[in-house]
Amino acid sequence: MKQIYFIINPKAGNGHCLNIWKKVETKLMNDQIPYQSFYSEYQGHAIKLAEQIAQQNDEQKVIIAVGGDGTISEVMNGFVNYDNITLGFVPGGSGNDFSRGFQIPTNPDESLEVILRLMKKETPVIDIGKVTMKDDSEHYFINNMGAGFDALISYEVNHSSVKAWLNKLSLGRLVYVYFLLKKLFSYKCSTIDISIDGSRHILEQTWFVTVSNQPYYGGGMKIAPEAVPDDGLLDITIVHNLSRVKLLLVFISVFWGKHVHFKEVKTFKGKSVSIQSSSSLYVHADGENIGFTPLDIHVKTKTMKVLTRL
């Protein structure tokens, strides 16, 4: 069996992740499964931990992130340039969109059982997205990235104590709803100049652009219903020329993936995307703020080995 490493974010899910890890740890010990574990202590620490594990030697290893979508994003960004790592995930955050898109159970015992079972099979190799910012810095995403209103919401969520308060009440998913309503009537839409595989589109009064590798984001919203993480394509969703009241209807429908039927919602598929805007827009990758527009996005096909039931 490949050597197993766990990278745990004890702060994920407002600290609830630590309890999840204890359950996983107990099962590992009871089943006498050898492993090594590391705690991430600050933002960006999981990137360093994953890179250190990957570069120890050329042996094939499994790194299992225990936390939320931000944790798994950091872990994959840490070993993205190494080909000796397989990625696993035990959900411990408030959103857990990766577990939805890649069909990993939210129950810690079940997720560990699935991971151990999948390790004995041939591992799927999936696509990821690469974002290149204006300053040439690079960021990779496994779920999705976005520019505009959704990225602003992600920024507000990650810098607010409201998320921790709602997590204590087991209502963490509502934090996105809270900030959407809070920012809805003050947000100023922009003109987006977007190129998809060389085809240029100029869209006025744009709320946001989301580029997806799998269907889910924002704590269960099915933003890209047709997204498949190993088809060599990224799914682009653009919402524009929409009144504030109608945006609420779109928002409600997105949980079922029905927003794509609104005429103000444009969808595309492509391998290369360039985004410019009339004003500087917040940008997120897997829910974490990475800067502002302009930027370029490229799909990296069949790049990452992932323990998934897809």
Q: Is residue 238 one of the residues assigned to a domain?
A: yes
Tell me how far apart the alpha carbons of residues 275 and 201 are, in angstroms, rounded to a whole number. 10
Please determine, for residue 164, whether its predicted confidence score (pLDDT) is greater than 70: no
Task: Tell me the whole-structure pTM to 2 decimals.
Answer: 0.92
Burial class from Cβ neighbours inside 10 Å (0-12, 13-18, 19+) for residue 308 reads buried
* Mean pLDDT computed over 238-253: 92
- The larger pLDDT score, comparing residue 167 to residue 294, is at 294
Domain shared by 241 and 288, yes or no: yes
**Separation CA 92–CA 108 (nearest Å):** 8
**Least confidently predicted of 2-16, 135-149, 283-297:** 2-16
Residue 169 has pLDDT above 70, yes or no: no
Average pLDDT over every residue of 87-110: 90
Percent of the chain with pLDDT strictly greater than 90: 78
Confidence of residue 34 (pLDDT cuts 50, 70, 90): very high
Highest mean pLDDT among 242-246, 250-254, 267-271: 267-271
72, 101, 123 - which closes a domain = 123
Q: Which domain holds residue 285?
A: 129-301
- Determine the average pLDDT of the residues in 181-209: 95
The answer to whether residues 77 and 154 belong to one domain is: no
| Token duo for residue 176 | 């996105």
Give DSSP secondary structure letters for 2-53.
-EEEEEE-TTGGGGHHHHHHHHHHHHHHHTT---EEEE--STTHHHHHHHHH
For the ranges 97-101, 175-179, 209-213, 251-255, which has the lowest average pLDDT? 175-179
Tally Cβ neighbours within 10 Å of residue 73. 24
DSSP 55: T
Please say if the pLDDT value at position 52 is more than 80.
yes
Residue 170 pLDDT exceeds 80: no
Task: Tell me how far apart the alpha carbons of residues 154 and 218 are, in angstroms, rounded to a whole number.
Answer: 8
Residue with tokens 């950091």: 74
Computed over every residue of the chain, the mean pLDDT equals 92
Whether residues 137 and 236 fall in one domain? yes
pLDDT digits 0-9 by tens, 102-159: 999 989 889 999 999 999 999 999 999 999 999 999 999 999 999 999 999 888 877 7
Ramachandran quadrant class, 170 (left: phi over 0; alpha: psi -120 to 50; beta: rest):
left
Count of domains observed in the chain:
2
Q: Are residues 103 and 152 in the same domain?
A: no
Task: Give the pLDDT confidence score for residue 2 in this predicted structure.
Answer: 86
Residue 195, sorted as left (phi over 0), alpha (psi -120 to 50) or beta, turns out to be beta
pLDDT for position 166: 56
User: What mean pLDDT do residues 283-307 have?
Assistant: 96
Rounded Cα–Cα distance for residues 224 and 256 (Å): 10
Written as six digits, the tokens of 211 are: 């580029």
Residues 135 and 116 in one domain: no
Do 17 and 133 reside in the same domain of the chain?
A: no
Confidence of residue 305 (pLDDT cuts 50, 70, 90): very high
Of 89, 108, 123, the domain-final residue: 123
Query: Does 99 lie in the same domain as 139?
Result: no
CA–CA separation, 230 vs 227, rounded Å? 9
- Residue 173 pLDDT: 59
Domain shared by 103 and 134, yes or no: no
CA atoms of 269 and 141, how far apart (whole Å): 17
Q: What is the dihedral of CA 55, 119, 234, 269, to 10 degrees?
A: 150
